[in-house]
Amino acid sequence: MTTKPDTIDDFLATIDSDKRAALEKLRRIIKAAAPKAEECISYGVPAFKQSGLLVAFGASKNHCSFYPGSALIEEYEDELKNFSTSKGTIRFQPDQPIPAALIKKIVKARLADNLNKRKKQSKESLRH
């Protein structure tokens, strides 16, 4: 029986070197876009939290995945046309990564969404 990873480093240690390198680069890009985000494991995959879940990533046998949520995949649909997408997931090959500038835009948009939701919740709680 395999144990679930406790950290992103634990997760990365279990995957093939080509996928590991691609995901380590993705991790650095996410950190650069959201330097205050906290690393964690969520639903068994590496994730970042700031004012709620921000983004996550993972690897399977045939590809790497970036999980920014459904709304952002729809918003950046044109820029993602060369990637396989489904609800909340962008799949990519290690040798054909998602462009860093696009990842940064997606992470910053997700962070802005989280902060806006947090502000709305704070206002709602003040009314009650």
The string of pLDDT tens digits covering residues 57-73 is 999 999 999 999 888 89
CATH topology (fold) of 8-123: Aspartate Aminotransferase, domain 1 (3.90.1150)
Mean pLDDT to the nearest integer, 19-39: 97
Neighbours of 90 (CB within 10 A): 23
Q: Where are the domains of the chain?
A: 8-123
Phi, psi torsion values for 116, nearest 5 degrees:
-65, -40
User: Could you tell me if 107 and 27 are in contact, meaning their C-beta atoms sit under 8 angstroms apart?
Assistant: no
Mean pLDDT to the nearest integer, 28-40: 97
